[in-house]
């Protein structure tokens, strides 16, 4: 019992230290009734990862090395994004099977994090095409307050990096959200509409392709239709089916273009 108590105390101290280092309030985690040593260990590992590897380079490092460069004649396509992209390959793996499609989504990420890891998780893989889908977590404030201009700058920078390295670009519309379950009351719907308008205009002006997911899944509140999502943010299987038809068409069109 004494050993177990000392373990708990040590782990709680580590969690509190990590939270302070990350600029969070340690009281919310230091007092953790009912949590096991394993849960505390996992939480501490997550906090330390965020502190030491903000873009999460570690997530795909081994997978990238194992994947290597595409074989001659293979037109690799990378999907860069957040949880919507991350969940895609888990919920609908058949969409990626037998195709040169590479999923590089990371749940919770903002466009700033995506931009930092863009060379490692996109450019170094030598794709012919990248689909960039991000911005909703910025609007949700996952890494603190973020203006639309900041999101636009990050998306533009990713597009510019891709084009500078001979990679064709598809800029994807942000999916509609009426309210974020984890941060209610932010009223993101109109911000997403405004951001998507900018993405479309930027794509047109800079010879990128624009992929409009938004129009096919939006409801009359400018949120996502209930049949396509359980939480109003992340697509379900039916939502991904809609996206897959649109993505395949956009990919084929982009790869054929000069």
Q: Does the pLDDT value for residue 103 go beyond 90?
A: yes
Asked whether residue 153 falls in the same domain as residue 45, the answer is no
pLDDT at residue 15, as a whole number:
44
In this structure, the answer to whether residues 132 and 67 fall within a common structural domain is: yes
> Is a pLDDT exceeding 90 seen at residue 257?
no
What is the distance between the alpha carbons of residues 227 and 215, in angstroms, rounded to a whole number?
A: 15
Q: Around Cβ 43, how many Cβ atoms within 10 Å?
A: 18
pLDDT the model gives residue 224: 98
Which structural domain range is residue 91 located in? 58-256
Do 78 and 116 fall within a single domain? yes
Please check whether residues 12 and 85 belong to one and the same domain. no
How far is it between the farthest Cα atoms of the chain?
70
Radius of gyration for the alpha carbons in the chain, expressed in angstroms and rounded: 20
Q: What is the mean pLDDT of the chain?
A: 88
Q: What's the average model confidence in pLDDT over 219-246? A: 98
Shared domain for 139 and 40, answered yes or no, is no
Quick one: pLDDT at residue 20? 40
Task: Kindly state the average pLDDT of the residues 98-111.
Answer: 97
Name the DSSP letter for residue 122. T
195 and 175 fall within a common domain:
yes
pLDDT digits (tens, 9 = 90+) for 39-60: 777 666 666 666 688 899 999 9
In 3D space, the residue among 98, 115, 93, 94 whose CA is nearest the CA of residue 106 turns out to be 115
pLDDT per position as a tens digit, 164-201:
999 999 999 999 999 999 999 999 999 999 999 999 99
- The CATH number covering residue 75 comes to 3.40.50.1110
The residues, ordered by sequence, that sit 6+ positions from 158 with a Cβ below 8 Å of its Cβ are 80, 111, 114, 115, 118, 122, 130, 132
**pLDDT top residue among 5 and 130:** 130
Specify whether 216 is located in the same domain as 195.
Answer: yes
135: left (phi over 0), alpha (psi -120 to 50) or beta: left
Which percentage of the chain shows pLDDT scores above 70? Answer: 83
Strands 77-81 and 129-133: parallel
Q: 175 phi and psi, to 5 degrees?
A: -70, 150
Euclidean distance between CA atoms 163 and 146, whole angstroms:
25
pLDDT the model gives residue 12:
44
Domain check: are 112 and 63 in the same one? yes
pTM of structure: 0.82
Residues 94 and 142 in one domain: yes
For residue 16, pLDDT beyond 50: no
Answer yes or no: do 9 and 23 share one domain. yes
Same domain, yes or no: 95 and 65: yes
pLDDT for res 6: 44
Copy the structure tokens of residue 253. 């069109």
What phi, psi does 75 have (nearest 5°)?
-100, 90
Asked if residues 8 and 29 have their Cβ atoms less than 8 Å apart, the reply is: no
Instruction: Give alpha helix (H) positions in the chain.
Output: 2-21, 27-30, 37-52, 58-67, 83-91, 111-116, 118-121, 136-139, 148-164, 189-205, 214-217, 237-256
**Could you give the number of structural domains in the chain?**
2
- My answer on whether 153 and 246 are in the same domain is yes
């Amino acid at each position: 019992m004494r050993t177990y108590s000392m373990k708990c105390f040590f782990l709680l101290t580590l969690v509190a230290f990590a939270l302070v280092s990350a600029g969070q309030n340690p009281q919310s985690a230091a007092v953790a009734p009912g949590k096991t040593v394993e849960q505390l260990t996992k939480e501490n590992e997550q906090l330390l990862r965020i502190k030491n590897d903000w873009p999460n380079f570690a997530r795909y490092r081994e997978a990238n090395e194992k994947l290597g460069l595409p074989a001659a004649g293979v037109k690799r396509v990378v999907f860069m994004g957040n949880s919507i992209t991350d969940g895609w390959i888990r919920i609908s793996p058949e969409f990626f099977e037998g195709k040169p499609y590479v999923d590089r989504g990371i749940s919770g990420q903002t466009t700033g994090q995506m931009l930092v890891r863009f060379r490692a998780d996109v450019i170094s893989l030598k794709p012919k095409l990248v689909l960039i889908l991000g911005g909703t977590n910025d609007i949700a404030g996952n890494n603190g307050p973020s203006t639309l201009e900041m999101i636009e700058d990050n998306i533009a920078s990713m597009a510019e990096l891709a084009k500078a390295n001979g990679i064709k670009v598809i800029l994807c519309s942000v999916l509609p959200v009426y309210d974020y379950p984890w941060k209610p009351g932010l009223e993101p719907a109109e911000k997403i509409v405004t951001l998507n308008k900018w993405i479309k205009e930027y794509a047109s002006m800079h010879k990128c392709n624009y992929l409009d997911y938004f129009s096919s899944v939006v409801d009359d509140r400018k949120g996502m239709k209930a049949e396509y999502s359980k939480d109003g943010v992340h697509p379900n299987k039916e939502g991904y089916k809609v996206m897959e038809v649109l993505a395949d068409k956009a990919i084929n069109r982009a790869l054929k273009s000069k």
